Structure 1
Amino acid sequence: WCTTGQDRAVELLGDRPDYQLLRTIPGIGPINALTILAETGDLRRFRHHRQFLKFCGMDLATVQSGMFRGRSKISKYGNARLRRTLWLAGQTAVLKKTNSFRDKFERYIAQDRHNPDLRRKAYTAIAAKMARTIHAVIQSGEPYRPFFEGVSPGGRTSLSKGRGGA
């Protein structure tokens, strides 16, 4: 008989708390969870999500020389396998019905849905958000709770509404 990679990942890691926490995040299946754990080791060693982003190569870097200052781009100096896994997990999360990853993607591409450069940048932003979410879930030890980002219509709450109507 032959087992699939997914079955083997569940068999090896199914009882580990970090694996179970990662599986609560949209877009992270058994193989992505296995890859993240294998490539990062203990995520708790990163005190801040920026350290984890740098490890993944998702931090911003700007090329400079004399008076010239280029555009900021992701550095790509980190772990390429981990960066690819975050990218794939982000793409999968965006395809799911409703979650904060899809909401952010939709807002990012709203100005020009068919611009391939804008879509690529949106997927990069989603991959970085995926890394921050992974870090937060592992650090807190709590399963992923969907949080829907949204812009409030007026941006403010009036005093009468905030106090229950005076």
Structure 2
Amino acid sequence: MKANVVVIQALEAQIAELDARLLQQAKLRPEYLLLKTMPGVGEVLATIIMLETGDIDRFAEVGNFASYARCVKSAHYSNGKKKGEGNAKNGNAYLIWAFIEAANFARRFSDDAKRFFEKKKAKTNSVVATKALAHKLARASYHILKEKQPFDAKRCFA
């Protein structure tokens, strides 16, 4: 047990050092602080979202960004029947990871996010509800970066 505690402490020290280097090396824009206003998004996730997104003006609409972040399905439907799938691996894998992580933290620490998650989970399952919450956060981050305004829970979860 003592050996495990020593290993955990050593890993925590290395993680703290990596976080400090990340913040030193990253060229952060002012939107970084706005991204941190989202529930579930801290320093590391805000950095990842900002750097992996790049210039937000390259996305014409919020749906384009959500698709790039892999937060929407790629299935094609016609007359209510599934007719195939598009390129499911198209987009940025790091963004979907960041938004899923943010969704998991948001549902634990934000009442609005938890309420949305529980309502969605009652209709489907936990995985689909987490992905739906990640999609909400992706859309919110698009608006944060585009409009340069802090997170608004009423607008996101209304």
TM-score band by shorter chain is: 0.7 to 0.9
Tell whether 2:148 aligns with 1:141. yes
State the distance in 2 between where 1:11 and 1:45 align.
27
Is the partner of 2:125 in helix, strand or coil?
helix
Is the partner of 1:60 in helix, strand or coil?
coil
Larger deviation: 140-149 or 28-37? Answer: 140-149
Is the partner of 1:4 in helix, strand or coil?
helix
State the distance in 2 between where 1:68 and 1:122 align.
22
Q: Which runs of 5+ in 1 are unaligned?
A: 112-116, 151-166
Is contact 2:57–2:146 with CA below 8 Å preserved after alignment?
yes
Is contact 1:9–1:30 with CA below 8 Å preserved after alignment?
no
Q: Which runs of 5+ in 2 are unaligned?
A: 1-12
Alignment: residue pair count: 143
- Structure 1 or 2, whichever has the larger Rg, is 1
Structure 2 counterpart of 1:135, which letter? Y
**Residue matched to 2:62:** 49
Is contact 1:13–1:19 with CA below 8 Å preserved after alignment?
no
Q: Decide whether aligned partners of structure 1 residues 123 and 72 sit closer, same or farther in structure 2, where only a CA change above 3 A counts.
A: farther
Tell whether 2:138 aligns with 1:126. no
Structure 1 counterpart of 2:55, which letter? D
Higher helix proportion (structure 1 or 2): 2
Following superposition, the deviation at residue 149 of structure 1 comes to 4.1
Following superposition, the deviation at residue 40 of structure 1 comes to 1.4
| Cα offsets for 1:20-75 (capped at 9, x unmatched) | 1101111111111111122111123223111101211223322579x994389893
Following superposition, the deviation at residue 13 of structure 1 comes to 5.5
Following superposition, the deviation at residue 142 of structure 1 comes to 0.9
User: Percent of aligned positions with the same letter in both sequences?
Assistant: 26
Q: Decide whether aligned partners of structure 1 residues 149 and 86 sit closer, same or farther in structure 2, where only a CA change above 3 A counts.
A: closer
2:47 to 34, 54, 57: 34
**Residue matched to 1:162:** none
Larger deviation: 126-135 or 31-40? Answer: 31-40
State the distance in 2 between where 1:63 and 1:142 align.
34
Tell whether 2:38 aligns with 1:25. yes
**Residue matched to 1:105:** 117
**Residue matched to 1:90:** 103
TM-score in terms of structure 1 length: 0.71
State the distance in 1 between where 2:70 and 2:113 align.
20
TM-score in terms of structure 2 length: 0.74
